[in-house]
Structure 1
C-alpha cells in the first residue's frame, strides 16, 4: 500500500510539473501608455490567452523593460520576447523597412498600409535585415498620414516653414527640411517636454499620438492636409523565443495576428478619429489647409529626390533597394 501511495504521489507531482512546463510567459516591451497605437498588441495578448486556456500569456510593459529606441537591441539579446519599435528611430538598424517611411508614397488608408507592410515583411531581404537582430517581424502598426501641430503663428503657406523647428523623423523629416524647416528626431515620450520648453515649435504625429502625448494641450494650429508621410512601427518577436514555442502556442500567436490587426484598425478608424475633431474644437486649435497647387509643388520637390537618395544609400549598404521600392510602389499603384 505504501508503495502504491508513493507511486501515486510521484505521478501527481510529475503531472503538476508537466502542467507547469506547458505554461509560457512572454515579456512585451512597449512605451507611453495604452492607446490606439498599441491596441493590436493588447488584443493579441487577449486572444493568445483565450486560445491557450491561459497557458501562454503576454506580459505587456509600457516603458518598464526598455527605452523605446532600445527595443530592437533588447530583442536582439533576448532581454524580452516581443517589442514594438519605429523604423525611423534607428534607420541604420533596419534600413529595409524604412522604404515605407519615404515621403509622399501615396498610401491612402490604414487597410492599405497594413497590406503593404505585411507583404514587405515577407520579402527575403527584409527578413534577413531584421534577422541581424534575432528579430522576426510579426505585424505592423498601421498609421495614417502624419500632420503637424504647433505653437506661435500658423504657417499658412509652405514658405512659412522656413526656420521652424519641427519634431519629424524619417522621411517626414526630409520632407520638412525641403521646405526650410529644421527637423529634429526624438522619441514620442520626449516630445511634450521639448515643445513646452521651446526646443521645438511644432510636432509631426498621427492624431492618436497628438492626443496621447499631450501636444495639443498648448498647440495653436494643426495642418489638415500636409500629409507628408507616415512612420512604420512593427511588432517583432525574438526569433529564438518564437522557435522555442510549442506548436500549439506558436499557432495561437501567429493565428491571432489578423484578428488583432482587424481590431486595431476598427479602433483607430472609429473611436480614435471620432475623438480627434472634438479634441481640436475644445482647445480652439486653428485648422490650416493648403492649396492643391502648393501641395503638388511640395510633393514634386520632395518625393523623387528622397526616393532616389534612399535607393542610393541603401544599395551601397548591400540591400536590393530599388527592388524593394519597386515592390512597394507597385502595390500602391495597383491599389493594393
Structure 2
C-alpha cells in the first residue's frame, strides 16, 4: 500500500511540474490608463487566455514596467515580453515605419490605417530593423487623423499657425514646422501639463488621447478637419519569448490578433460616433478649417516632407521609395477591394 501511495504521489508531483511547465505568463508594458488605444491589447489577453484554458496569461502594466519612450529598449533586453510604443518617440530606432507618420498620406479611416500598417510591418526592412531590438511586430494600434485642441481664439487660418507652439511628434511636427509652427515632442503623459503651464499653445492628438490625457478639459476649441496625419504605434513582442512559446500557445496568440484588432475598430468607432457629444459636454467649439487653407497646408506640409523623408532615409540605406510606394499601392488595393 505504501508503495502504491508513493507512486501516486510521484505521479501527482510530475503532473504538477508538467502543468507548471506548460503555463506561460507574459508581462506587457503600456502607459497612461486603459483606454480605446489599448483595448486590442486587453482583448488579446482575454482571447489568448480563453483559447489556452488559462495556460497563457498576460499581465498588462500601465506604466509600472517602463516609461513609454523606453518600451522598445525594455523589449530588447527582455525586461518584458510585449510592449506598445509610438514611432515618433524615437524615430532613429524605427526609421522604416516612420513612413506611416508622414503628413497628408491620404489615409481616410481606421481600416485603411490597419491595411497600410500591416503591409509596412511585413516588409523585410522593418523586420530587420526591429530584429536589432529583439522585437517582432505583432499588431498595429490604428488611430484616426490627429487634430488640434487649443485655448483662446481658434486658429482657423494657416497664418495663425506661425509661431504656434504645438505638441506634435514625427512627421506631424515637421508639417507644422513647415507653416511656421514650433513643434515639441513631449510625451502623451506630459501633454496636459505642457498645455497647463503654457509650454505649448495647442496639442495634436487623436480623439481618445484628448480624452484620456485630459487636454480636452483645458481646450476651448478643436479642429474638426485639419487631419494632417497620425502617429503609428505598434505592439511588439520579444523575439526570444515568442520563439519559446509552445506551438499551441503561439497559434493562440497569432490567431487572436485579427480578432483583437477587429474589436479595437468596433470600440473606437463608438468613440468617434459620440465625439460631438463630448465636445458639447465640455463646451469646446468645433472649428472647421476652410478648404483653401487646407490646400495651402498640404502644399507646403505634404509632398515636400515626403520627398525629404525619401531622400534622407535613402541616404541611410533604407528602401525608402519602396516603403513609400508600398503605402500608396496598399491604399489603392484596399479601396479597389472594397
Q: Deviations over 1:119-175 (max 9, x none)?
A: 111111110011110000000001000000011221121111111100000111011
CA contact (8 A) 2:191 2:213 kept: yes
Matched position secondary structure for 1:255: helix
Matched position secondary structure for 2:33: coil
Matched position secondary structure for 1:163: coil
The runs of at least 4 aligned residues of structure 1 exceeding 4 Å deviation read none
Alignment of 1:167 onto 2:182: no
Counterpart position of 1:328: 327
State the alpha-carbon separation in 2 of the partners of residues 209 and 88 from structure 1. Answer: 15
After superposition, residues 63-78 of structure 1 pair within 5 angstroms as: 63-78=63-78
CA contact (8 A) 1:72 1:85 kept: yes
RMSD of aligned Cα (Å): 1.0
Matched position secondary structure for 2:230: coil
- How far the C-alpha of 1:283 sits from its partner, in A, is 2.0
Counterpart position of 1:249: 249
Change beyond 3 A, Cα 1:44–1:19: same
Counterpart position of 1:314: 313
Counterpart position of 1:278: 277
TM-score, structure 2 as length reference: 0.97
After superposition, residues 93-132 of structure 1 pair within 5 angstroms as: 93-132=93-132
State the alpha-carbon separation in 2 of the partners of residues 50 and 334 from structure 1. Answer: 35
Counterpart position of 1:79: 79
Gaps of 5+ in 1: none
- How far the C-alpha of 1:318 sits from its partner, in A, is 1.5
- How far the C-alpha of 1:5 sits from its partner, in A, is 2.0
Q: Deviations over 1:51-79 (max 9, x none)?
A: 00100001000000000000000000000
CA contact (8 A) 1:152 1:201 kept: no
Matched position secondary structure for 1:256: helix
CA contact (8 A) 2:178 2:301 kept: yes
Counterpart position of 1:35: 35
Matched position secondary structure for 1:66: coil
Name the stretch that deviates more: 291-300 or 142-151. Answer: 291-300
- How far the C-alpha of 1:305 sits from its partner, in A, is 1.2
CA contact (8 A) 2:115 2:331 kept: no
State the alpha-carbon separation in 2 of the partners of residues 161 and 227 from structure 1. Answer: 15
CA contact (8 A) 1:91 1:170 kept: yes
State the alpha-carbon separation in 2 of the partners of residues 335 and 6 from structure 1. Answer: 64
TM-score, structure 1 as length reference: 0.98
- How far the C-alpha of 1:335 sits from its partner, in A, is 4.2
State the alpha-carbon separation in 2 of the partners of residues 258 and 335 from structure 1. Answer: 17
Alignment of 1:295 onto 2:294: yes
State the alpha-carbon separation in 2 of the partners of residues 279 and 319 from structure 1. Answer: 42
Matched position secondary structure for 1:266: helix
Counterpart position of 1:54: 54
- How far the C-alpha of 1:264 sits from its partner, in A, is 0.1
After superposition, residues 86-235 of structure 1 pair within 5 angstroms as: 86-235=86-235
State the alpha-carbon separation in 2 of the partners of residues 218 and 92 from structure 1. Answer: 32
Matched position secondary structure for 1:199: coil
Name the stretch that deviates more: 227-236 or 284-293. Answer: 284-293
